[in-house]
Amino acid sequence: MTRLELFRIKSMWGNYAFDYACSMARGLSGGLISIWDPNMFSKNSIWCDDSFIIIKGNWKNVVGDCFMVNIYGPQDHVSKLALWNRLTDFMHHHNGSYIMFGDMNAVRNAQERFGTTLNSIEADHFNSFIDSTGNESSNLLFFSSVFMEGLHNSFDGSDVPFNYLGLPIGSNMKSIASWKTLVDRFHMRLSSWKANICRLGSSDI
């Protein structure tokens, strides 16, 4: 990445104390980026795809390999099924704990679909993907922009939920209380931005 792009990441993160992995934009598809605190998560390997970034590493004070999987699901169901198959194959060949997150562009049932009609075939494919990976030999914590559901995880009760980037990982993200810290942080940022814009506007008058 260029210095300008690193500066943009720093503006989101707050400082330069971060590590990252990215999958660059291709055609009309936007790119993906994963950012983390290297003092909390130590990276070992990275796999990049048009629709996902997988970072293998270790959490501080947590034994065993963990795979952080950042996903952006395609729109059409054929490409989406191919994505689930690639991820399933990867997980079957790489043992460890998995934390999956992102915009899956998929839901499990009609209760999770708002404003549009449920595609039952896509839902069946998505459920089959979760069922095939959420077994006893593969610990999985799974959440998306649509829903969050813990299937299995390798942390004991004292470790979940834990905070990462200000969000309580392992909490019920349908609960308003789980989002309060992030909402309060945005309110603080918006207040400071509004004050800066007002000062700039007054100086131009």
pLDDT single digits (tens) 38-67: 999 999 999 998 899 999 999 888 888 999
Q: Which pLDDT belongs to residue 80?
A: 92
**Of 130, 78, 81, 139, whose CA–CA distance to 108 is shortest?**
130
Q: Which pLDDT belongs to residue 50?
A: 87
Q: Is 96 left (phi over 0), alpha (psi -120 to 50) or beta?
A: left
Q: pTM above the 0.75 mark?
A: no
pLDDT single digits (tens) 101-136: 888 888 878 777 666 778 888 889 888 888 887 644
Question: Are the C-beta atoms of residues 88 and 135 closer than 8 Å to each other?
Answer: no
**25 by DSSP, 3-state: which?**
coil
Binning pLDDT at 50, 70 and 90, where does residue 146 land? very low
Structure tokens belonging to residue 95: 């043992």
